Amino acid sequence: MVITAQNFLRSRLTRFVIVGAGANLLLFALTYILLRCGVPALLAGAAGYAAAFGAAYLAQRDWTFGGMHRDNSPLPRYAMAQLACAATSSLVGHICTSRLAMAPSAASLTVTITAAFMSYVVTSRWVFVSEDRH
């Protein structure tokens, strides 16, 4: 089987990873630029996160999941899913460092994998669900 770019991009998981990576790059770039411009760190981080959240939501809704959702506004479910991912990631990071004494690199990798996996599962199974699945 030959894997073409078109076939590669048809995979929902591939699109999910691309959107997630893009959102993280946007977060990094905006936070960096705002910090360099003298914006306080708390505000820079919040503004960068808000922009990345909005961009990721729109891209996931319209491209990754192709508008597959059961109503016109999956945004509240998306926000709740991201809050749950953030809370779970925080707990996993705490356990990795305080209970398991993992090195920062290993703890960071574990947190990243946990968040990505949880986000994909919750997003694909609850946030952007087609009518025929309910």
- Do 38 and 75 sit in the same domain of this protein? no
- Do 104 and 114 sit in the same domain of this protein? yes
Q: Mutual orientation of helices 12-36 and 41-59 as an angle, nearest 10°?
A: 160
Give me the half-sphere count of Cα atoms (radius 13 Å) on the Cβ side of residue 109.
5
Is the CB of residue 110 less than 8 Å from the CB of residue 102?
yes
Reply yes or no on whether the pLDDT at 16 is more than 80: yes
Helix (H) or strand (E) holding 23: helix 12-36
Mean residue pLDDT across the chain: 86
- Do 60 and 78 sit in the same domain of this protein? no
**pLDDT tens per residue across span 82-131:** 999 989 988 998 999 999 999 988 988 898 889 889 999 999 899 888 65
- Do 84 and 44 sit in the same domain of this protein? no
Picking from 48, 67, 86, the residue at the C-terminal end of a domain is 67
Picking from 15, 41, 67, the residue at the C-terminal end of a domain is 67
Picking from 67, 92, 120, the residue at the C-terminal end of a domain is 67
- Do 63 and 73 sit in the same domain of this protein? no
Q: Mutual orientation of helices 12-36 and 104-122 as an angle, nearest 10°?
A: 120
Q: Which two tokens stand for residue 48?
A: 């960068």
Which pTM was predicted? Answer: 0.77
What is each CA distance from 62 to 13, 15, 89, 122, in whole angstroms? 14, 11, 26, 17
**Strand, helix or coil for residue 68:** coil
Q: Whole domain around residue 111: which residue ranges?
A: 69-134
Total number of domains constituting the chain: 2
**pLDDT tens per residue across span 3-15:** 666 666 678 889 9
Burial 24-53 (b: 16+ CB within 10 A, else e): eebbeebbeebeeeebeeeebbebbbebbb
Helix (H) or strand (E) holding 8: helix 5-10
- Do 47 and 79 sit in the same domain of this protein? no
